[in-house]
C-alpha cells in the first residue's frame, strides 16, 4: 500500500472510532473488559506512582486518564485521530496527570529511553506495520521497561467471509494475530514476555452489551419510520451472532500480555 493510501486508511479507522456512533455502541472504553481490564493490565505491569507511561492509540483518553488516577503515573497518550485527541485534552484538563498528542504509533512523536512503561489496548491488531510499532515502543522504553499489550486474537482461516476485509479490519479482526503470534512479535521486537492472560470471556460481555444497545437503537429507527433493510446497522445482529460463535471454540479471543524490554547485550 502506498504511504498516501496508508494515511487514508488510518484516518478512516480513526474517524470511525472517534465518531458518536462508536461511543454510543461501545461506551467510553473502546475495548473488551473496559477499565476493569485496563487496571488489571496496569497491575500486571506493576505501574507505580510517578512512572512516565505512554498509551499508544489512546483514542479519547479514557484508559490513560484511568491509569493516571489509579496508579498515579504520568501518562502521555498518542492517537491518530485529531478529534479524539481534542476530546482527550478537554477531559484531561479536569482529571489531571494525562497528556495527549496526535501521532502515529508506527512513528511515535516521543523521546527515546525515558519511559518506564507503555500500554497498547485493542490497537496493535489495527496497526499496518506491527513490527515497526513494537520497535518504536522499545525505543521509548528504558531497559527493563514494561510493555502492556491487550488485543483481539484470531485463529488463521477462521473468519467468516463477511467478517474479513474492511469490516473485519475496523473490528480489529482481519489483521489480528494468534496469542502465540503476539508473543513472537514482542520477542522479535526486543521484549521478554513475562505475562500472558486469556480474557476472552470479556468478548462475550461486550457483545451482550452491544447487542442490547443495538436492539434499542434499531427499535427507535423503526419507530421513526426507517424502512427495514435500509439502515447500515440492520445486519449487525447477524454479524454479532457470527462473532459470538467464534469465541467458544477459541477462534476469537482477547488476551493480555506484558513484555519486559531486554537490556542491551
Ligand X SMILES: C[S@@+](CC[C@H](N)C(=O)[O-])C[C@H]1O[C@@H](n2cnc3c(N)ncnc32)[C@H](O)[C@@H]1O
Among 110, 117, 126, 159, binds ligand X (CB under 6 A): 126
Q: Rank residues 105 and 176 by Cβ distance to ligand X and give the closer one.
A: 105
The two beta strands, 74-79 and 52-56, are parallel
Q: Could you tell me the three cell numbers for 96?
A: 489531571
Residue choice 105, 134, 199, 243 for contact with ligand X (CB under 6 A): 105
Least separation, in Å, of the C-beta of 78 and ligand X?
6
| 26, 111, 195, 256 from 18: Cα distances, Å | 11, 26, 31, 24
- Does 79 bind ligand X (CB under 6 A)? Our answer is yes
Task: Kindly identify the residues of this chain, within the stretch 58-77, that bind ligand X according to CB under 6 A.
Answer: 58-59, 63
Instruction: Give the nearest distance from C-beta 148 to ligand X in angstroms.
Output: 11
Residue 34 CB contacts under 8 Å (≥ 6 apart), including other chains: 27, 28
Contact 55, 63 (CB under 8 A): yes
How far apart are the C-alpha atoms of 105 and 93, rounded to whole Å? 23
Look up residue 45 and give its three cell numbers.
Answer: 505491569
**Cα separation, 197 vs 58, whole angstroms:** 22
123 sits near ligand X (criterion: CB under 6 A): yes
| Least distance (Å) between residue 1 CB and ligand X | 13
Q: Is 30 in the site for ligand X (CB under 6 A)?
A: yes
Closer residue to ligand X (CB): 10 or 261: 10
Q: Which is nearer to ligand X, 79 or 202 (CB)?
A: 79
Reduce the secondary structure of 96-142 to three states and give it as a string.
CCEEEEECECCECCCCCCCEEEEEEECCHHHCCCHHHHHHHHHHHEE
Contact mark string toward ligand X, 149..168, x via CB under 6 A? --------------------
Question: Given candidates 71, 100, 115, 127, which one binds ligand X under the rule CB under 6 A?
Answer: 127
Shortest distance (Å) from residue 84 CB to ligand X:
6
Residue 35 Cβ, how far from ligand X at the closest point, in Å? 9
Rounded to whole angstroms, the Cα distance separating 223 from 191 reads: 53
Binding site for ligand X (CB under 6 A): 10, 13-14, 17, 29-31, 57-59, 63, 79-81, 84, 104-106, 121-123, 126-127, 172
Amino acid at each position: 500500500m502506498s504511504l498516501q493510501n496508508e494515511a487514508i486508511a488510518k484516518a478512516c479507522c480513526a474517524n470511525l472510532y472517534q465518531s458518536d456512533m462508536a461511543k454510543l455502541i461501545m461506551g467510553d472504553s473502546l475495548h473488551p473488559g473496559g477499565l476493569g481490564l485496563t487496571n488489571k493490565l496496569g497491575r500486571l505491569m506493576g505501574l507505580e506512582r510517578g512512572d512516565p507511561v505512554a498509551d499508544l492509540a489512546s483514542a479519547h483518553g479514557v484508559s490513560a486518564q484511568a491509569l493516571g488516577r489509579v496508579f498515579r503515573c504520568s501518562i502521555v497518550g498518542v492517537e491518530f485521530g485529531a478529534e479524539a485527541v481534542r476530546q482527550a485534552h478537554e477531559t484531561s484538563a479536569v482529571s489531571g496527570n494525562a497528556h495527549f498528542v496526535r501521532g502515529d504509533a508506527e512513528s511515535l512523536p516521543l523521546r527515546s529511553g525515558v519511559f518506564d512503561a507503555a500500554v497498547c489496548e485493542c490497537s496493535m491488531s489495527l496497526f499496518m506495520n506491527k513490527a515497526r510499532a513494537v520497535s518504536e515502543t522499545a525505543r521509548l522504553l528504558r531497559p527493563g521497561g514494561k510493555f502492556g499489550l491487550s488485543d483481539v486474537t484470531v485463529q488463521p482461516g477462521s473468519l467468516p467471509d463477511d467478517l474479513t476485509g474492511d469490516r473485519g479490519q475496523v473490528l480489529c479482526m482481519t489483521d489480528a494475530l494468534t496469542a502465540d503470534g503476539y508473543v513472537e512479535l514482542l520477542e522479535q521486537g526486543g521484549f521478554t514476555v513475562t505475562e500472558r492472560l486469556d480474557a476472552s470471556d470479556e468478548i462475550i460481555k461486550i457483545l451482550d452489551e452491544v447487542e442490547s444497545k443495538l436492539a434499542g437503537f434499531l427499535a427507535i429507527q423503526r419507530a421513526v419510520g426507517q424502512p427495514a433493510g435500509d439502515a447500515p446497522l440492520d445486519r449487525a445482529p447477524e454479524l454479532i451472532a457470527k462473532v459470538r460463535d467464534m469465541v467458544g471454540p477459541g477462534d476469537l479471543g482477547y488476551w493480555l500480555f506484558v513484555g519486559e524490554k531486554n537490556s542491551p547485550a
